[in-house]
Amino acid sequence: MTPGAIFERAQRIARVRGDAAAGSPAIRRAMVDAREVKAWVDAQLAGLIGQLSDVEAFPEAAIADAARCSLAQANKDRERSDTLAETPGMADALGDGAITAGHVDAVTRGSKKLDGEQREEFIERVEALVDVAAAATVDQFSKRLDLEIRRLQSESGEERLTRQKQRVRVSTWTDNDGMWNIRGCFDPVTGIALTSKLDNAIQSLFSERVPEHCPSDPVEKNKFLAAHALARLVEGSAGSGQAGRPEFVAVIDATEPVGGGADGPRVDWPIPVEVPGRVLAEMIGTDDVAGVVVRNGVVVHAPGRLDLGRATRLANRAQRRALRGLYSCCAIPGCAVRYDRCKLHHIVWWRHGGRTDLDNLLPVCAAHHAKIHHSGWVVELGPHRELTLTLPDGQVMNTGPPRRNAA
């Protein structure tokens, strides 16, 4: 983009910001303008950092001083600059506002997973994916890059698991506020076990009463409870009511006819990971397996009691397990909050006589659950769980029956 194009976008943004009566289309267009301007600025900053790196012995310190940022952020900015220097197609796209700095950072992260010739080939492939980046969100582009990395590595599932186990790490530090922080990176098998223990601890410890100082914001509340549950597990005071064994859900999608393209049963767990077949067989041999059969958005079979009527407001484990066969995340279109972090919302509200039956329950994240209850969002379900979402401004969004792709 030229400076003139930047100026035009800045003028449009200013006009919308100064118009208290601006409608949604104008605001969205201004947000696109702002995104494109920011991308152009990020491209210029990356170029300046490249120039600075040629004349400074310690460029990160100079970057931090000029940008008034931390050394860690300065290092991230320099890595972005280096990536753009290796991928001129991405650099041009960023300067034109077609992609964002987040897309470039995804390339940087991906390149760190490879060495030598594999890394060089990865960079070449990235240049061929510029149009893909321009049409995708950062998350979507990151997944595509992960696919390219797996193709380059050409490793078996067990080789990948071995490599992942070698990368297991835990780091701790104390921040400027005196808070002790912990960050962990675990292989999928360990992650499944830890997630199960943590989720079970949250349910058993805090189903009746939450700790003092628990925040009211639903997202922060989940983080708060997870932190306290982890502390109790480490202390050994989480109790023995929940063993924390992972439960595997074998989902059979009967929508496809036999031989019509279905990949057979899919094994599902609370976190989005892949486990080699042999290791999976060993895990299933020692843990609980529940079969769920779905067809065209409807649960055809699932173990346990699925209709509770007015006997209780809270959904039971069988209902959560059954709906996991249909949903991998929040049912609201575009939301990626994973299923096990969602609440089961009553389509016909409990206070309005709604029943705790499977066909009246819908998984929604805490943020969207609050929108439904407090911001006038209206959700309706069709006979095959087709979702109709009506927003307060009259906008209507529709989806077809939920479908989950086999892993």
| DSSP-derived secondary structure for 260-281 | TT----EEE-SS-----HHHHH
For the entire predicted model, the pTM comes to 0.60
Residues 148 and 202 in one domain: no
Whether 328 contacts 338, CB under 8 Å: yes
pLDDT of residue 155: 63
Assess if residue 160 is contained within a domain.
no
pLDDT of residue 340: 80
What are 357's two structure tokens?
């039956």
Residues 11 and 138 in one domain: yes
Residues 143 and 181 in one domain: no
Residues 255 and 390 in one domain: yes
Among the three residues 235, 255, 283, which one is the final residue of a domain in this structure? 235
Assess if residue 222 is contained within a domain.
yes
Task: Supply the range of the domain harboring residue 182.
Answer: 169-235
Q: How far is CA 130 from the centre of its chain?
A: 23
Residues 7 and 150 in one domain: yes
pLDDT of residue 262: 46
- Number of domains within the chain: 3
Residues 214 and 127 in one domain: no
pLDDT of residue 240: 54
Residues 181 and 285 in one domain: no
Q: Beta strand 298-301 with 288-295: parallel, antiparallel or unpaired?
A: antiparallel
111-140: string of b/e by CB count within 10 Å (b at 16+)? bebbeeeebeebbebbeebbeebbebebee
Residue of 317, 96, 370 whose CA lies nearest to 199: 317
Residues 146 and 273 in one domain: no
Assess if residue 162 is contained within a domain.
no
pLDDT of residue 203: 77
Q: How many other C-beta atoms lie within 10 A of the C-beta of residue 41?
A: 15
Whether 189 contacts 161, CB under 8 Å: yes
Q: How far apart are CA 115 and CA 108, in angstroms?
A: 13
Among the three residues 102, 124, 154, which one is the final residue of a domain in this structure? 154
Assess if residue 159 is contained within a domain.
no
Among the three residues 106, 131, 154, which one is the final residue of a domain in this structure? 154
pLDDT of residue 407: 35
Q: Beta strand 396-398 with 180-185: parallel, antiparallel or unpaired?
A: unpaired
Residues 25 and 93 in one domain: yes
Residues 61 and 107 in one domain: yes
Assess if residue 403 is contained within a domain.
no
Residues 125 and 104 in one domain: yes
Q: How far apart are CA 5 and CA 9, in angstroms?
A: 6
pLDDT, tens digit (0-9, with 9 covering 90-100), for 188-244: 889 888 888 888 888 778 877 888 899 987 778 888 999 999 999 998 876 655 455
Q: What is the pLDDT along the chain (407 residues), one digit of tens a residue?
A: 899 999 999 999 999 999 999 999 999 999 999 999 999 999 999 999 999 999 998 999 999 999 999 998 999 999 999 999 999 999 999 999 999 999 999 999 999 988 888 899 999 999 999 999 999 999 999 999 999 998 887 766 778 788 889 999 999 999 999 999 999 999 988 988 888 888 888 877 887 788 889 998 777 888 899 999 999 999 887 665 545 555 667 777 766 554 444 455 566 655 666 666 666 666 655 556 677 888 888 888 888 899 999 999 888 888 988 998 889 889 998 888 888 888 899 999 999 999 999 999 999 998 899 999 999 999 999 999 999 999 998 889 998 888 764 33
Q: Beta strand 247-253 with 288-295: parallel, antiparallel or unpaired?
A: parallel
Residues 193 and 114 in one domain: no
pLDDT of residue 202: 83
Assess if residue 405 is contained within a domain.
no
pLDDT of residue 286: 53
